[in-house]
Amino acid sequence: MTESLSNAVVMVEGLHCAGCIRKIESAFEKDPDIETARVNFSNHRLYLVWNGPQEKVETYIKRVQNLGFGAYPFSPDEEVELKKAQQKRILLALAVAGFAMGNVMLISIALWITDIDTMGEGTRQLLQWLSALIALPAIFFSGQLFFQSAYKALSHSKTNMDVPISVALILTTAISLWGMFNHQEHIYFDSALMLMFFLLVGRYLDMRAQGQATQAATDILGHLNETYTGINSNGDKTEYRVSDLLPGMEIVIEAGRRFPVDGIVVKGESDVDAALITGETLPVNIEKGTNLYAGTINLSAPVIFKVQKIADESVTEKIKTLLGQATKNKSTYMRIADRAAQIYTPLVHSLALITFVFWLFYMKADWQTSLMIAVSVLIITCPCALGLAVPVVHVLAIGKLLKKGVILKSGDALERLQKITNIVFDKTGVLTTGQAQLMDDYDQDIFKKAASLALHSHHPLSKALVKAYDGETAEMTNIIEYPGKGIEGQYKGRVVRLGRRGWIAPDIENDNASVQTWFDDGHVQTPFYFSDSLRNNASETIKYFKSQNIEVSLLTGDKKDQANKIATQSNINDVHAEKLPEDKFDFIENFSKQNKKSLMVGDGLNDAAALAAADVSMAPSSAVDLTQDTADIVFMGDSLEPVKATYKIARHSQKMVKQNFTLAVVYNVIAIPFAMGGFVTPVIAAIAMSASSLIVIANSFRLNRVQL
C-alpha cells in the first residue's frame, strides 16, 4: 500500500559549485521512497517529496549533514537573518584579508628588491617577523570560512572546493614559518594572503548575487494579517483577518483598498484597477454581479463583496505556487566559474602532490626542497585568475548598466540573457507607459470646462484630462461626486457633469473601443478619448532584437483590440491577449519544452509567475514590489532602451568571461611544467600568479569600451 506523499524545503549551507548539487541530489537518487530531490543553487534550498510520514524529514536532513553540508528546515525569518549574518561575516573576513595583504605586500617589496648584503640579516628577520605578525592572525581569522567548510567535509569522508584551498593556505603559511625560523631568504605570507583575498572577493560577490525570486514568493501573501469589516445576516459588523475569510461571507471594501480574495460584488458601484491581475490598462467599472480577483484595487466608492474562495485558493495563491515551481526549475543553472573550478581545482592540487612525490622519491631531493617545489606549483597555479574571471567582469557590467539605469540582481542573469532565442513583452507598463493619455483635439471652450471640473476628481482619467490641459481653468461650484458614475458641478449657474457614458449620455450609441470619459456642459455631450502610449524607443528596441534573430511576442491580459493596436505600433507580429497569470506561466513554460531560451519583461502581479518561469526576466522600476523582487534585472526610466543595452552588455561580458578563462588556462598550461620542473621559486610563482590575475583584470576592463 502506497503511503501518502510528504514534502519539505531544507536550507543547505556550504553550496559552492555544481559538484555540491550533484553530490546532494545523488544521495537521494537510489532511495525508493524519494519522489523528488532537487537543489536550487540560487537560494540554497533542497526541495524534497517522499512517500512516508512528515517526520521522516529529520532523517533526510541528517543525510545532507553527513555529506558535509549544513542543513535545517526552511524558515523565511531565519533564512533572512542567516543570510545577513553570512554576508556580514564574509565582508569582515574580506576587510581583514585586504588590510593584511596590503601591508604585507609593502613589506615584501623590500624583501624582494634588496639582497641580504645590503639589508642585513637583522633587518630581514625583523621584516619577516612583522609579516608573520600581520599575516598569521589574518589567515587564522579570514581563513575560517574555508577551514571550517573543509573540515566539515573531511570529517564526513568527503571533499569540496574548500579542501584544496585550505591545503594551499596552510602549506604556504607553514613553509613561510619554517623559512622564517630557519633564516631562509624568502617567505610567502603575501602569496597566502593574496590567494585568500581574491577567493573571498569571489565568494562575497557570489553571495550578493544569489537569486531573490523565492523571497518574493514568501512575501506574496503578506496581506493575510490585514483585517476587513464583515457584515452578517443581522447587519452586525465584525472584523476578520484575510486568512479567516470563508466562502459566503460578505465584507466591506472601502475605496483605496484591495479585494483580499476572489469573489463577487453584491451591492454598490465603483471603479477598480485590475492591472495587477488582468493587465487592463485603465480603470474598469464594477457593479452588482461583477466577479473580481484578489489583488484588484477599489478606486471610487465602498462596495459589499461576497467571498467565493478562501485566501489559499485565490489567484494570488496560485501565483505563489507557480513561483515556487518556476524557482525549482532554475536549479539546473550553474555559474561558469563553478563548473570550471570543479575540474580545475582537484587537478591542480593533484599535480602538486605528484610533484612532491616525484622530487622526494625519484629525484632524491630532501623533503624541504620537494615541498617548496610542490608549494610553487600550488602558488603558480593558484585559482586567482580563474576566480576573478567572472567577478571582475560582473562588477564592471554592473557599473556600466547602472549608468543606463539598470540594476542587475542575479549573478548569472547575463550568462542566461545572452543565450535567449525569444523575448516576451507584457503590454501595460512595459511596452507602454501604463498611464492614460488624452487623444485627439477638442473644442477649447469644452476642453476648458471639462478640465476645470476634472480638477476636483481623483479618478485616473480625470487626472489625465487635467494633465493634458495647459490653459486657464474656470470656476466650478457645488461639486458633487457620484461613486462609480462621475462628478457634477455648476458653471455660471448651469449644471455640468463628467463621467461614464451610461450616466452622461445613456441614449447615445458609441462602439468606439478606446477608453473614454464623457462631458456634458448642459447643451452637448462630448466624449474624451484616452489611450496608453508606447514607451520611448520601444519600436527601435524591438527592431534591434529582430535583427539579432530573436523572436518577439506580446503577452498581455488586456483586451485583444488594445493589444493589437500596440503590437501594430511596435511592429510585433506574435500577439497573445486576454491571458490570466496561469496562461502566461504556461506560455513561458512552453519555450522550455521546445528547448528555447526566453526573456520575459513584465511589471504586474499577473506577470510574476511568468517572470520566474522564464530563463531570465526583467521588470521596470515602476513595477509592483513582488515583480521587482522576482525579476533578475530591474530597469529605470520611461524608455525601453535599457532592455537592449542590457542584452548588448550580456553578449560582450560573456565573451570577456570566456576570454578570461582562456587566458587563465593558457597561463597554467605554460606555468605548470616550469613549476613542476623546479625552475620556478615560490617568489617567482607569486609574481607570476599576480601577473595572471592582472592580465585577467586588464582584459575585463575592455568591457568599458563597449558602445551601447
Same domain, yes or no: 430 and 446:
no
Single pTM value for the model? 0.57
Clarify whether residues 516 and 545 are in a common domain: no
Flag whether 172 is in a domain: yes
**Among 249-263, 347-361, 620-634, 681-695, whose mean pLDDT is lowest?**
681-695
- For residue 452, the enclosing domain spans 436-532
Measured in Å, how far apart are the chain's first and last C-alpha atoms?
63
End-of-domain residue from the set 634, 652, 670: 652
Q: What is the mean pLDDT of residues 45-66?
A: 85
pLDDT of residue 625: 66
Same domain flag for 251 and 294: yes
Residue 643 clears pLDDT 90, i.e. is over it: yes
Longest Cα–Cα distance in the chain: 113
Most confident of 32-36, 127-131, 463-467, 666-670: 127-131
State the average pLDDT over residues 674-701.
77
What mean pLDDT comes out for the span 238-253?
83
Q: Specify the pLDDT at position 272.
A: 83
pLDDT given at position 600: 94
Q: What is the pLDDT of residue 185?
A: 74
Pairing relationship of beta strands 494-499 and 486-491 according to DSSP bridges: antiparallel
CA distance 257 to 658: 51
In a domain, 423, yes or no: yes
Q: Provide the CB-side half-sphere exposure for 614 (13 A, CA).
A: 31
| Confidence at residue 216, expressed as pLDDT on a 0 to 100 scale | 39
pLDDT at residue number 541: 92
Let me know whether 421 and 448 are in one domain.
no
Is there a domain that residue 325 lies in?
A: no
Mean pLDDT of the chain: 79
Confidence label for 388 from pLDDT (cuts 50, 70 and 90): low
Least confident of 155-169, 416-430, 497-511: 155-169
Number of domains observed in the structure of the chain: 5
Round to whole Å and give the CA distance between 194 and 380: 12
Identify whether residues 582 and 631 lie together within a single domain: yes
- Band (644; pLDDT cuts 50, 70, 90): very high
- Clarify whether residues 107 and 198 are in a common domain: yes
pLDDT recorded at residue 411 = 64
Q: Are 263 and 228 in contact (CB under 8 A)?
A: no
Cα 561 to Cα 389, 557, 667, distances in angstroms: 49, 12, 60
> Looking at 19-33, 126-140, 335-349, 386-400, which range is the least confident one?
335-349
* Per-residue model confidence (pLDDT) at position 136: 95
pLDDT value at 593 more than 60: yes
Tell which wins on pLDDT, 668 or 528: 528
Task: Give me the active site residues, please.
Answer: 426
CATH number of the domain enclosing 53: 3.30.70.100
**Quick one: 555 and 415 in the same domain?**
yes
Does one domain contain both 506 and 539? no
* Start-end of H helices in 530-681: 538-547, 560-570, 581-593, 608-613, 625-630, 641-676
Average pLDDT over residues 242-264: 84
- Does 588 have pLDDT greater than 80? yes
pLDDT at 523 over 50: yes
Mean pLDDT, to the nearest integer, of 26-39? 83
Q: What is the pLDDT of residues 444-501, one digit of tens each?
A: 889 999 999 998 887 778 888 888 888 888 888 888 888 778 899 998 888 999 988 8
- Contact by Cβ (8 Å): 630, 584: no
- Whether pLDDT at 210 is above 70: no
Spatial separation of the C-alpha atoms in residues 398 and 386, rounded to whole Å: 20
For 322, residues 6+ apart whose C-beta sits below 8 A from its C-beta are 581, 582, 585, 609, 612, 613
Q: What is the mean pLDDT of residues 161-166?
A: 72
Question: Could you give the percent of the chain with pLDDT greater than 70?
Answer: 82
* pLDDT computed for residue 49 by the predictor: 82
Most confident range (mean pLDDT) of 446-450, 579-583, 624-628 is 446-450
Is residue 15 within 8 A of residue 160, CB to CB? The reply is no
Long-range contacts of 470-479 (CB under 8 A, 24+ apart): 471/444, 471/447, 472/448, 473/448, 474/448, 474/449, 476/452, 479/453
> Could you tell me the pLDDT band of residue 223, with boundaries at 50, 70 and 90?
very low
DSSP 639: B
457: domain CATH number?
3.40.1110.10
Residues 6+ apart with CB under 8 A from 498: 450, 453, 454, 457, 462, 465, 486, 487, 488, 504, 517, 518, 519, 520
Q: Report d(CA 427, CA 407) in Å as an integer.
A: 21
482 found inside a domain: yes
Q: Is residue 584 one of the residues assigned to a domain?
A: yes
